[in-house]
Structure formats: structure tokens, C-alpha cells
Structure 1
Amino acid sequence: MTDGGHDNSLILYGRWEKPRTTGLYGMTWGVTVFAGILVILNIGVFWFTRSLPATGILLAVSALLVGPMVITFGGRTGWELMILRTQFQWSKWRGETLFRGGAFGTVPGIGRMPGIAGDTRLYEYELRGGERFGLVHLRSKNHFAVSFSVQPRGQERVDQWQINDWVRGWGDFLAQLGSARGAVGAAVVIESVPDNRTRISAEVKRITHPDAPAYAKQVMAETALSSAAAIVRSEVRLTLTFGRLREAAGKEVADQAAEIGRRMSTLMGAAAQAGVEATPMSAGEWCVAPTRAYNPQLTEDLEAIAGNGNEDQLHWDAAGPVTAVNKWDHWEHNGYRSITWEMATAPAGQVPAHVLRPLLIPRADVRRKRVAIIYRVHNTAEAVKLVDSDYREALAAEQSKKGVVSAAATVRVENTNAARREQATGAGLTRFGMLVTATVAPGEDLPSIRAEIEGMADGAHIGLRRCYGYQDAAFAGALGIGIILPEYASTSSKLSA
């Protein structure tokens, strides 16, 4: 059955492009300039010295410098990989890849989170309506994050026009977030959690009247025990990250929280237009996800606490693991092992709204999975510069080709030009990425889970790349606690592909 007043046609989405500067022979502009300087230097040395050995040595050194910038492995330049490996080995030599927490650990505190998540503090404030909301202060970058609990909606028995409206509303929400001063980014986290029926049993107990007939009570209890949702369920969170707001009355955290609180109702209303019913998370609710991620063995206890509404018993400084070891290709914490991937390539061409379904749906064979979609928003002034720069680079890449121009170069020009037109008519500009984390219990087969995740990503037309050398940081970035990983990058973007 369709509604004659709405368009039920399937809409395809696309036109995303990875930012890239274009130089000669497929190199980036920075590498082209650097190579040009070396060529001039080699010519100058030969001109003044007339020495072939000296010029040959300089040529060899120049090739060693430029070669790793041009050659890429898995989407990374040779210099990136060498720097990552060097930094990892240096951290390992200094003992920074080993974490010992807890009351008797080497890190102060009851159980502080490791790495870049360790320098965070959690506060709690109230909105005008009396709702409590937690605020995380990421002190190293002076960012502030608020999180919302989202009840996921399935696509079953939903008309196509409604899905189209939701997607359009989500684009409007991101555009509005970009127009908000101080907004840095947003993250949507879809987490698969093992469910031991604790929460549904607590809910059934809550809604069952004590004076109900015995038969009715028995039916309700059996319904909770036989629920199909008692294997793996999904939790969805929306986290918004802000920089220091100039509009705040002062520089204290409370002043920043007051200004963010004034904006939350407007942003929640915009999210509702996208079918996202967002509820602010209190400080106690904030603690559940990181505690469960770092300490998977506490999942059942946390389910019981959350099911009874006792999240206030949890503390931010006790969310971290007792022990953790950062390996080159995975991360070990409290005996569990986790692998985090980052999105290397977005879906090619145009795709429908449900393209990510194979990666997002909960599966019994991958019980602990977390997908974080990261958005980096830009204000209007930044958006104008970025879309114009992307268009110039795409045009330069197309015009630099001799003979028949590749179809990819032409499509890139069309996409970037379309982005310029859309931005000029009021659309926002958002960079996006994705982090995917899978966690396995002791004794589980990690290679099998790895293959399952990569197969699910292939089904969603997403290219994944393992986060070699920074598994601990990527794990924290996928938690949805306000961490925007590019802000913590240790490798210059000039050396990237």
C-alpha cells in the first residue's frame, strides 16, 4: 500500500570524493613540489661541481626520499608505514604499549581508561526541563562531548517515501550541526551486545502488575525467556563533539555545559526529523559503554545494573581495563582481543539507503561488534574553501592527462562541481569515515571473526583497512566518547596518500 501524496521511488546516493591534491604523474601536489626542488638541486650540484659521483649520490638520496612518498601499500605511502612502525617500536621500547591499571596499577586511579581516552573527565548537568545529561571534557584537545541514546528503527513495514524523508532529514541535521558554532564532529555508534535477557526480564517485571492473575504473570515471564532478542541486540548512540564555545559566559566547564545545553533541544528536534528519537544520556549511562568495551567480562553485571536503572553506581575513572597490551595488528585487554579497522574506501558509485545493513545487523556468530560512523562538520566559510579546492584539484587532474581522459577523472570533476552547486544553494559539507571494532573472548578464533567482519564490509561495499600500529587509539576512537582521531594524528598529512 502506498501513499499517493509521497514519492515511493528508490533513491540512490553517492557523489562522495576523497580529498586529494593533484600534481604531476599522479603524485600529490606536495610531493610534486618536493620532487621539483630535488631535481633543481641535482642540476645545481652537477652544474657547479661537474662531479658525476657527487651527482649520482645525490640522485640516489633523492630517489630514497621521493620513492616512499609515491609508492603506496594498502592506501598508505611508504613514509607513513615507516613512521608508524618507528613510532610503534619506540613506544614498545619505552613500555608505552603495556597498560597496568586498577587500584594497584602503575596508572593513578581506580581504573582509568588507557591512552588518549585517559585524559578525559565526566561531568553531569541538567537541562531546563530537569533532564540530566553527561558531559565529557577531552582535556588534551579542549573538546566537549554529549551523547544521546537512540532507539533504532527497523525498515520492515516502512514505506520507501518515509525512508527517503529520514535520509533527507539526516542530511539537514548534519548541515544544521555544521552551521552551529563550535561543532567539531559527530559519531553514530551501532554496537552489537550479547544479551542474557536481563534487561527484557527487568522490563517485563516492571510492567507486570503485582495483582495480575498468576496465568498472566506466567505468560509474561515465558515471553521474556523465549524472546528472540535474547542472543545479540543492537545499541545505538549519537555523540556530538564541540570545541570551546566563545558564546559561553566563561571558560569553566560549567559555562561550556550551559551553552551546549541551550543548543541540545534544537539539535534533538532536528534529529527527530530524521527519525532519530534521541534521549540525553546521564553520567551513569555514559559509563556503561566504555566499561563494557574495556571489560567484556562484566557484560552480564552491567546488563543487570542497567536493567534496574542503577547506572549511577558506575564511575568514569573505573571504566578502564586492569591490563592491556597494544600489539601491531590487534589489542589485548583483560584477556580479550580486539581488532579495529578504518574505512579505506567508500562505496563506489551510487547506493541505496540500506547499503550498510550487512555490516550493521547483529549476528550471533559475531557477538561483540562496534561500528562507528564519524562525521567531521565544517562551517560555511570552511565549506566554500574546501569544495572550491576539491573542484580545482579534480579539474587539474583531468586536464593533466594526455590522450583519452579516464572516466574516473571525469566523474570526479562532475562530483566536485555538483558539491559546489549544492553548497552554494545551502547544503552543508561533511567529511565522514568509519571505524569497525570486533572483540573476541579468550579461546575464540580471532582469524575467523576477522574474515567475517571483512566479508560483512564487502557486502556493504565498504573497503576496510586494519589500523596497524595504533589499535589502542582506534579502539578508543570507535567508542563514541567524543574522540575525533584526526585531531590526534602523529603523522603529517603532507606524507599521506
Structure 2
Amino acid sequence: MSTTTPDRNALLLYGRWERPRSTGLFGMTWGVTVLAGLLLIGIIVCFVFTQSLVMTGVLIAVSVVGMAPLVYSRDGRTGWEMTVLRVQFNWARLRKQTVYRGGVFGQVPGTARLPGIAAGSHMYGYELRDGQRFGLIHYPAKNHFTVSLAVQPQGQERVDQWQINEWVAAQGDFLARLGSARGAVGAEVVVESVPDAGARIGAEVRRITDPNAPAFTREVMAETVLTRGSARVRSDVRLTLTFAPLREASSREVADQAAEIGRRLSTLIVAAAQAGIAASALSPGELTLYPTRAYNPELTADLERISGTADGEELRWTGAGPITATEEWDCYRHNGFTSVSWEMGTPPAGQVPSDTLLPLLAPRADLPRKRVALIYRVHSAADAVKLVDNDFREALAAEQSKKGVVSASASLRVQNTNAARSEQARGAGLTRFGMLVTATVPAGSDLPTMRSEIEAMGDSARIGLRRCWGYQAAAFAGSLGMGTILPEYASISGKLGG
């Protein structure tokens, strides 16, 4: 009798993700099915009491017109959702809520506060046990607390496949551990491409170059700065963690919550290191740099020059926003630049390798300002049991409601949700995830070409990208990795959605 040892260097594939949705009759959601049933009962009662074919016919016509937007869907959204989005956007534009004017003489008090859903946020500075300072963002509207970690990307060059497999597994364990921590509500990994003027590399080379070294050595180091600066685009990676008020804190005051989060943050940094993530907490000034650079791209070179210096710590959260910004239906214009945001409409079909997102994440010289945000909603063990059981029941109901030959997608959904139940029972965590992609170009650039490039990159990564019609400003803020959990700000009920 012989046994086979699995190949550690085998290329692993990942999949079995399902979008949670309620299932009703004829492919409709449960909420739409209930509404249709109530309308049918109303029509019958109307005919019984009035005996009027005219009134009953009018009621049927009104019901059909009202139900059509709920049944029709395109790109994962029902006609009802698209109509409500359009009405809300037009109403906001009519009230001039889509226009932001900051600055000392602006309509919004303060120098240049963050616009939109992040307008009420506040920045605080605290210290970890080792004395390292970290920035804490507080959102009073949702009472959420956010910290951010700078991550040094290791890349895949000259890395064995077994090491990559272990990193992926360890990152899954990290998310599961985050879900088991009380108070954690979300995590976000942001991979941002920014123009590189070479200031950081130059500063580092000057720091490590000995002035007494031979002239040839100093020339080689100087040439390194010029060679590395020619790439012109680099990647910034950060990990953001968002917490609800922690019950372990002595009170609900920000300072007490920060103390408890600081204790947990040290442990989470060690756990991230075990997952191959070299992370360090961002100070208030370092954390402020990212939204400042995103809303004010013209300051990129100046911000790079002061990054990591005492001047960088002088950045203020109240001045991180743009001076002027206008939200359009299909884009966001700020400080002479135009940004377009997409969301993940559909995950990869089938199974994919661990580097499937590489076409989206890799920096490109023709798109120097690009931001990809992977957003995770973590759930506690108790919530995970309810969610996976509910997903399985919905998938089973959808399969059994179809007559004749059951579609392969319905059967596959049952298998995937059942596998999720089994894995969760064995101790695996449950994480809902999404993605936002934002590209920024100077005003007057060729937007159709940029949009085509981004969507082609999404196709190469096997991600179905969908434009964020009508909420470009919110999507822009959500992709910053500043702890804004977009579903918490949704204005359309999911019960009647797609």
C-alpha cells in the first residue's frame, strides 16, 4: 500500500464564491415576490367587491407598470435601483449638493475638509506599547474607528510556489482571526499606483551613502537613483482595519477606545507578519497624506518630498480634501483632475490562481494614478453560522423552484454554499468581499480610452467591473482605504434590489 504526498509546489486554484441573494419565484428576489403576491391579492379583492372590469383592469395595468422596474435588471441592478439612483442624483444636483467648495473662503467651514460621507470624520494620534505613534480616524455618524498599516509588498519574483501557497493560506487565517476579534467590522487592502519623482529613493540613497566612500561607489549610488526614477510609477500598499466600539474599553470615549484598539493592533501586526505581511502603523501625518494626495493630485511631488519628515507630520486632517470638486453621473472632478470609479459587479467565474488580480494591480506608466481597493466584511462565528445556513437555504430553494432540467449554475450554487457550511463548521472564517477601482487623469484627458483600459484590465483579471453610476464621490471615498464602509451608507433597501 502506497500513499501520495501532495506536491507543495503545485499551483493552487481558488473559487467557490457566491453572491448572497434572496430567492423568490420566477428568479425574483423574496421581497419582490411578496410584493407581487400582495398586489395579486389586492386585485382579486378589488374585483370581488367592485365587480368592475374597468377598475380591475386599471389596477392590473398599474401593478404591471410598478412591478416592471423590480423584475427588469441590467448589470446586476434592477430598474427600481437605477431609477432611484437617478432621482436621488438629480435631486442632489438640483440642491447643489454635488458641488463642493472648500478653502478659507469656501462654502464649507475650515480649510479643505474631506467632502461627502467622510466630512464628519476626525483624526486623533495615539501611541502603541512600543512608543510608535498611530493615527485613528473616528466616524461619529457610524461610531466607527479606523487604523491603517503601511505594507511593504514582497512581489513574486524568485519566490517558490509553496511559499506563495502558504502566504495565501496565512492571509486567510489572518482574516479569520480578525473575524473572531470582537468589534472588527471590516478590513481593506489598497494597492495604489502613483507617479514617482524619485524623491524617496534619493533620500534613502543619501542616507546610506558614506561621504567618505570612493568616488566610483558614490557615482554608482547616484546612478541608481536616476535608473530607479526612470520607472516613474510605484505602488503604495496599505491595510486598513475598522472597528465598532469595543466593549472591553473602560468607556465609549475616543481615548479609551483608542487604548483598546492599540492593544489589539500590536497583536494584529504580529499576526500579519506570520501571513507574510510586513506592516507598520501609520502616524496621523502619514495617514493624512493619502486622502490629501488623492483629492489633490497636483501636490504629489511635494507630498513625496516631505513624506517621512517632520514637515509630513504637520499635515492636517481638516485640510486633506480638495479646494473644489464636482460629482457627475459618470465621473468625479476635483482640483483640475477627473476620476472614474468602478465596482466589482461579478467575481471571477470558476477557479483562478492566486495572481489573477495582477493585471489590475501592476503599475502602468500610461495610467500612473490608479487605485484598487479590496474590501472585506468580517463576521463573527455566530453570525457566520447564520449567514452560511441562510445562503444554503436560498440556493436550495432556487434550485428546487425550477421545473424541468435544473440549470448548472443553480446546482453549482448549492454545492458552493454547502461547501461553505462544511468549511465554516470545521473552523474556517466567513468574509464577504468586494472591490473598488479608481483611475485619475488630468482634466481634458481622453476618458474613453482610460475607461477602456481599466475595463480591459478587469477582463484580464476575470473581474466584471461595473461603473459606479450616480455615486462616484462615495465610491472615490470608499476606495481610499480610510474606513468608510459603503453599505453602511446605502440609501436603497436591498430587499427590493437585485
* TM-score past 0.5 threshold: yes
Unaligned runs of 5+ in 2: none
Give the C-alpha shift of residue 169 in structure 1. Answer: 0.4
Structure 1 pair 45–5 and aligned structure 2 pair: CA distance change class (3 A): closer
2:44 is matched with 43
Q: What amino acid is aligned across from residue 176 of structure 2 in structure 1? A: A
CA separation in 2, counterparts of 1:442 and 1:213? 48
Aligned partners of 1:495, 1:370: CA distance in 2, in Å? 31
1:256 Cα shift? 0.4
- Confirm or deny: 8 A CA contact 1:42 1:59 kept in the other structure: yes
Which deviations, in whole Å up to 9, do the C-alpha atoms of 1:415-448 show, x marking residues without a partner? 0000000001100000000000000012321111
Residue 216 of structure 1, CA deviation: 2.0
Aligned counterpart, 2:482: 481
How far residue 68 of structure 1 moved from its aligned partner, in angstroms, is 0.7
Match of 1:459 in 2: 460
Aligned runs of 1:63-102 on 2, under 5 Å? 63-102=64-103
Corresponding residue number in structure 2 for 1:449: 450
Q: Deviations over 1:238-265 (max 9, x none)?
A: 0000011111111110100001011112
Q: Hey, what does 1:273 align to over in structure 2?
A: 274
Q: Could you say which residue in structure 2 is the equivalent of 1:259?
A: 260
Report what 2:139 is aligned to: 138
In structure 1, the partner of 2:349 is: 348
Preserved contact between residue 23 and residue 29 of structure 1 (Cα < 8 Å)? yes
Q: CA deviation at 1:309?
A: 5.7
Using the aligned pairs only, state the percent identity.
65
> Does the 8 Å CA contact 1:202/1:307 hold for their aligned counterparts?
no
CA deviation digits over 1:198-219, x for unaligned, max 9?
1101111111122223332222
1:61 corresponding residue in structure 2: 62
Deviations 1:28-83 (A, max 9, x none): 11111110111111011111111011001111111122111110122111110111
* Contact 1:203 1:307 (C-alpha < 8 Å) held by counterparts: no
Tell me if structure 2 keeps the 8 A contact 1:179–1:379.
Answer: yes
**Is this contact kept in 2: 1:46–1:55, CA < 8 A?**
yes
Are the equivalent residues in 1 in contact too, given 2:101–2:107 (CA < 8 A)?
Answer: yes
Moved more, 206-215 or 416-425: 206-215
Contact 2:286 2:308 survives alignment (8 Å)? no
> Which residue in 1 is equivalent to 2:156?
155
Please name the residue that 1:422 is paired with.
Answer: 423
Counterpart in 1 of 2:316?
315
Deviations for 1:110-140, whole angstroms, at most 9, x for unmatched residues? Answer: 1101111111111010011111110000111
Q: What amino acid sits opposite 2:245 in the alignment?
A: R
Equivalent in the alignment of 1:408 = 409
Q: For residues 152 and 349 of structure 1, what CA distance do their matches in structure 2 show?
A: 27
List 4+ stretches of structure 1 deviating above 4 A. Answer: none
Q: Which runs of 5+ in 1 are unaligned?
A: none
Name the CA distance, whole Å, in 2 between partners of 1:83 and 1:225.
Answer: 53
Where does 1:96-135 land on structure 2 (aligned, <5 Å)?
96-135=97-136
Q: CA offset at residue 6 of structure 1?
A: 6.8
Letter in 1 for 2:110: G
Matching of residue 188 in structure 1 with residue 189 in structure 2 = yes
The 3-state SS of whatever aligns with 2:378 is strand
Do the aligned partners of 1:172 and 1:270 also contact (CA within 8 Å) in 2?
A: no
Q: In the alignment, which residue of structure 2 is the partner of 1:166?
A: 167
Report the secondary structure of 1:417's partner residue. Answer: helix
Q: Distance in 2 between matches of 1:425 and 1:229?
A: 50
Measure the CA separation in 2 of the matches of 1:8 and 1:180.
32
Q: Distance in 2 between matches of 1:296 and 1:183?
A: 32
Residues 152-175 of structure 1: per-residue CA shift (max 9 Å, x gap): 111111111101100100110010
- Rounded Cα–Cα distance in structure 2 between residues aligned with 1:299 and 1:367: 11
Q: What TM-score comes out, normalization by structure 2 length?
A: 0.98
Mapping of residues 199-238 of structure 1, within 5 Å: 199-227=200-228, 230-238=231-239
Q: Give 2:30's aligned amino acid.
A: W
Aligned length: 494
Residue in 2 that maps onto 1:495:
496
Shift of 1:228: 5.8
Q: RMSD of aligned C-alpha atoms?
A: 1.2
Q: Distance in 2 between matches of 1:457 and 1:435?
A: 11
Q: Is the 8 A contact 2:197 2:229 kept in 1?
A: no
Is this contact kept in 2: 1:358–1:459, CA < 8 A? yes
In the TM superposition, 1:341-380 aligns within 5 A as 341-380=342-381
Match of 2:433 in 1: 432
Q: In 1, are the aligned partners of 2:144 and 2:243 still within 8 Å (CA)?
A: yes
Q: Secondary structure at the match of 2:192?
A: strand
Distance 1:212 1:192 in 2: 35
Instruction: Please give the alpha-carbon distance, in whole angstroms, between the structure 2 residues aligned to 1:72 and 1:5.
Output: 45
Task: Determine helix, strand or coil for the equivalent of 1:211.
Answer: coil
